[in-house]
Amino acid sequence: MNRARFHILLQYFKEDIISEEEWHELVTMIKTGIYDDQLEDDVLISLDSIGKKNKWTTDIEQEVWAGIQTKIKAHSKTSNYRLWMAAAAILLLMLTAGLIFFKSEHLPSSFKAITAYKKQDILPGGNKAILTLPSGERVVLTDSTIQQLANQTGGSIVKAANGILIYKANSLTGNSETGEAMFSTISTPRGGQYQVILPDGTHVWLNAASSLKFPTAFKGEKRLVELTGEGYFEVAKNKEMPFVVHTENQEVEVLGTHFNINSYTDEVSTKTTLLEGSVKVTAKGNQKVLTPGDQAQINKNTKEIKVMPVSLEEAVAWKNGYFVFNDEKLESIMHRVSRWYDVDYEFEGKQGNLSFLGVIERTKNISSLLKVLESTGNVHFKIEGRKIIVMP
């Protein structure tokens, strides 16, 4: 059990996407009492989202916290999932819309300033990318409609309506007439993400400011693709043809597995996180084999490979629609914010050695994310066009 996991489960409940197994896990964590301070912090952040604390917020905070404790004790002897959900819904909804509605008549004068702040709001990224075909033709991708983009020797290309590009191959040995490999590249801009199903059935999620180069039909002894930026892979199994991902600093070889690679050029290290199966990571002659839960970190200067256990939920949170900050430095957070919201940023004054713990949906406007960070009282933000000013 850890604090990042608790934040994620609490967020899953608030968004009504929590499974029964995850719900029982959350209840178990709450009953330990270890995470009481985080529950209280959640109340404070929700209150802070409507302005400065005042004489009403303290009373409401105490009432909500007392209610949480009472309901947990009252239902501690039952394992009925639906009963627990009904009881908790009454309480946790008070942390979001219900609580804000209750306080609406007591909104502080600073609410006007928050409204003005949101007038300069910036929308989150979405499903958008550019597909470059072997011919050099460039196709703009969105998630609006189903569309057949092209026919080729090995099969066809279909753009689905949900941000997925599908390469339908007739066989794994297309292009055999000429023997020449033909490559396509899908690239996401800042503020974009996209999914692609490769000719072998491998499913790839691309994060913002990323690209994937791949053959229009796999042939030969291995399936080789090239990645820049960040991608999550669910590789189709084929023992006769290993799948290899090449990045600037490493190669990852698999037969069939689920893993995430973060290889942005503006990051200090390249990170490969394994969720299922087994992969071999190679960098400048150094090799490491990962098992599920491992992350390989490669220093871009020394090419040294360090392997360590990590939180899988945190590593793939972007793919599941969340930002997860687990004791993360502000500079690192702003790197990610910049890519997803397609904004620039600059620091004014000394920020100190700030780090943050929290979870927020990537579908929220940038103001929601900035308000969560500001709730600590240690940092403030100003939006100027598409630039974020970070202030002490």
pLDDT tens profile 176-186: 445 677 899 99
Q: In sequence order, what are the residues at sequence separation of 6 or more whose Cβ sits closer than 8 angstroms to the Cβ of residue 365? A: 118, 121, 122, 123, 124
Rounded distance between C-alpha atoms, residue 299 and residue 250, angstroms: 10
DSSP state of 35: T
Nearest to residue 311, comparing CAs of 337, 277, 273, 271? 273
Q: In sequence order, what are the residues at sequence separation of 6 or more whose Cβ sits closer than 8 angstroms to the Cβ of residue 333? A: 323, 325, 356, 373
- Using one digit for the tens of pLDDT, what is the confidence trace for 295-337? 999 988 888 999 999 988 889 999 999 998 888 899 999 999 9
Rounded distance between C-alpha atoms, residue 269 and residue 265, angstroms: 9
DSSP state of 8: H
Nearest to residue 270, comparing CAs of 292, 257, 288? 288
Instruction: Look up the pTM and report it.
Output: 0.70
Token couple for 221? 């002894």
Q: In sequence order, what are the residues at sequence separation of 6 or more whose Cβ sits closer than 8 angstroms to the Cβ of residue 78? A: 84
* Cα radius of gyration (the chain): 24
Furthest-apart CA atoms within the chain: distance in Å? 78
Rounded distance between C-alpha atoms, residue 96 and residue 48, angstroms: 11
Token couple for 82? 């639906």
CB-based contact 84:23 (threshold 8 Å): yes
Task: Per residue of the chain (392 residues), give pLDDT as tens.
Answer: 466 677 667 665 654 556 677 777 777 777 777 876 666 655 544 444 434 344 444 554 455 555 555 544 554 444 444 444 444 444 444 444 333 333 333 333 333 334 444 557 899 999 999 999 888 888 888 866 656 676 655 567 888 877 889 887 654 444 444 567 789 999 999 999 999 999 989 999 999 999 999 998 888 899 999 999 999 999 998 888 999 999 998 999 998 899 999 999 988 899 999 999 999 999 988 899 999 999 999 988 888 999 999 988 889 999 999 998 888 899 999 999 999 999 999 999 887 778 888 888 898 899 989 988 888 778 899 999 899 999 98
CB-based contact 216:152 (threshold 8 Å): yes
